[in-house]
């Protein structure tokens, strides 16, 4: 997961060099990012289905290993491309590969640790959220010294190679190897629902809409963090001997990673719906503060970190809730179906750039993100929580009816 973090969270440092080298419009370059996110999410059900069908021993290894090869191939292609078409193909390769790695990693976590599902998923997802903090400055330095093409080539080969090796040590539990947990703050289904049943469940679609709402704002800031800093003319302002943008990039990725296991642990203690409402409320505050104080270098760093902190929690909370509701046997595929919400939200990334170009600032985009977070709080409290309770009550009633019928 650490090895695919740069594909998303390091992307913004490549945008300006590519624009300068080829005179491509930023909106055109960001189409590649949208393709990456779309396939990294929308293709995960395919990867997960293949993984589950092959079996717990070899499925994870083969799917994740193939993902490592595709990740390397995508960035190597980006290193040599001289056309937008090739750049988009590179985005597609890395997207499909990253999706394979992500779905296997999350599927592994939710299956092995039912008693600490939120924390386990958060720890695994933290690799994707914070992994770029280790390499974002080295990548920026490498681009400055040798060009973005060399950075794509070198880091693409390293990232893909490490994934290919690490994947051979992954497996899912065999049937009966891990027992379901009845207690805890969140009720867990003892039945495993197939993907067809999940897609036919209305509570899944309530969860999906909420996921889309939360993904949208974070993706916009992730893809355009450099542009937002440049719009305030603070990118190169020094803070404690470090440029504002570099410090913000590292701090944001660290906070993104910290949030995932932290909110997952909190959810294990007080329940997922309550934790979601807390996180989304803090997210509204974070976007509004970035809107209000983003022009101040120190405030930009702190507010950006808070945005990523409040956004990162969704990648531990939503997979855990999906597995609690629909069971573990098909958890890799079902969590991947929910993860496609991120791809749906990615469609808004180019739209944000267009709005900014029309209005001349990022203020309107940040205000919309603030409102979206507020809406998400109400969706969880007034719709998702009652829907989940009713779904679980219906499940209990159905099981009781089946037992009575057999008796």
pLDDT tens profile 217-239? 787 877 777 778 888 888 888 88
Within-domain flag for 73: yes
For the stretch 236-260, pLDDT in tens is: 888 888 888 888 888 887 888 888 8
Within-domain flag for 177: no
Within-domain flag for 131: yes
- What does R_g of the chain's alpha carbons equal in angstroms? 21
Within-domain flag for 176: no
In a 10 Å sphere around its CB, with 0-12 CB exposed, 13-18 middle and 19+ buried, how is residue 358 labelled?
A: exposed
Sorted by sequence, the CB contacts under 8 Å of residue 172 that are 6+ apart come out as 51, 56, 57, 59, 60, 107, 108, 111, 112, 332
Within-domain flag for 175: no
For the stretch 62-77, pLDDT in tens is: 999 999 999 999 999 9
As a whole number, mean pLDDT of residues 188-216 equals 85
222: left (phi over 0), alpha (psi -120 to 50) or beta: alpha
Please say if the pLDDT value at position 163 is more than 90. Answer: yes
As a whole number, mean pLDDT of residues 208-218 equals 86
Task: For residues 203 and 182, give the distance between their C-alpha atoms in angstroms, rounded to a whole number.
Answer: 21
> What does the buried/exposed string (b/e) look like for 77-97 if buried means 16 or more CB atoms within 10 Å of the residue's CB?
bbbebeebeebbbbbbbbbbb
- Cα-flanking dihedrals φ and ψ of residue 242, to 5°? -125, 140
Residues of the chain with pLDDT > 70, as a percent, come to: 94
CATH of the domain at 127: 1.20.1250.20
Please say if the pLDDT value at position 13 is more than 80. Answer: yes
Within-domain flag for 26: yes
| Number of Cβ within a 10 Å radius of residue 405 | 7
Within-domain flag for 219: yes
Within-domain flag for 398: yes
pLDDT of residue 358: 80
In degrees, to the nearest 5, what angle opens at C-alpha 21 toward C-alphas 18 and 27? 40
Q: E strands of 209-305, at which residues?
A: 238-239, 242-243
| Number of Cβ within a 10 Å radius of residue 387 | 19
What's the pTM value of the predicted model, to 2 decimals? Answer: 0.74
Residue with tokens 């056309």: 83
Number of domains in the chain: 1
Please say if the pLDDT value at position 186 is more than 60. Answer: no
Question: By residue range, what is the domain housing residue 360?
Answer: 2-170+183-406
């Amino acid at each position: 997961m650490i090895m695919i973090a740069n594909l998303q969270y390091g992307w913004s440092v490549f945008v300006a060099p590519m624009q300068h080298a080829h005179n491509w419009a930023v909106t055109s370059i960001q189409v590649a990012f949208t393709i990456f996110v779309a396939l990294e999410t929308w293709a995960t059900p395919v990867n997960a289905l293949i993984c589950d069908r092959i079996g717990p021993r070899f499925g994870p290894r083969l799917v994740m290993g193939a993902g490592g090869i595709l990740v390397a191939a995508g960035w190597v292609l980006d290193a040599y491309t001289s056309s937008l078409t090739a750049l988009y193909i590179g985005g597609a390769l890395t997207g499909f590969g990253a999706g394979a790695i992500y779905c296997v990693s999350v599927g592994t976590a939710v299956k092995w640790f039912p008693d600490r599902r939120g924390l386990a998923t958060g720890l695994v997802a933290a690799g994707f959220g914070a992994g770029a903090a280790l390499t974002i400055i080295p990548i920026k330095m490498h681009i400055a010294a040798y060009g973005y093409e060399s950075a794509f080539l070198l880091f693409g080969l390293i990232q893909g190679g490490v994934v290919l090796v690490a994947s051979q040590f992954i497996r899912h539990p065999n049937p009966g190897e891990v027992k379901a947990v009845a207690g805890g703050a969140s009720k867990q289904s003892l039945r495993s629902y197939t993907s067809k049943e999940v897609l036919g469940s209305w509570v899944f679609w309530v969860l999906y809409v909420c996921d889309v709402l939360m993904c949208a704002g974070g993706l916009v800031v992730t893809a355009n963090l450099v542009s937002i800093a440049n719009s305030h003319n603070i990118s190169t302002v020094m803070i404690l001997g470090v440029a504002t943008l570099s410090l913000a990039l590292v701090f944001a990725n660290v906070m993104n990673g910290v949030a995932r296991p932290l909110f997952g642990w909190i959810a294990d203690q007080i329940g997922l719906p309550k934790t979601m409402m807390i996180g989304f409320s803090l997210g509204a505050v974070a976007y509004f503060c970035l809107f209000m104080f983003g022009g101040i270098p120190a405030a930009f760093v702190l507010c950006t970190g808070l945005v990523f902190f409040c956004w990162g929690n969704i990648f531990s909370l939503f997979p855990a809730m999906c597995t609690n509701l629909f069971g573990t046997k098909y958890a890799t595929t079902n969590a991947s179906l929910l993860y496609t919400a991120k791809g749906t939200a990615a469609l808004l990334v180019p739209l944000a750039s267009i709005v900014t170009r029309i209005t001349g600032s990022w203020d309107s985009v940040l205000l919309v993100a603030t409102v979206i977070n507020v809406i998400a709080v109400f969706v969880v409290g007034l719709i998702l929580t009652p829907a989940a309770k009713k779904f679980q009550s219906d499940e209990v009633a159905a099981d009781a009816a089946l037992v009575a019928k057999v008796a």
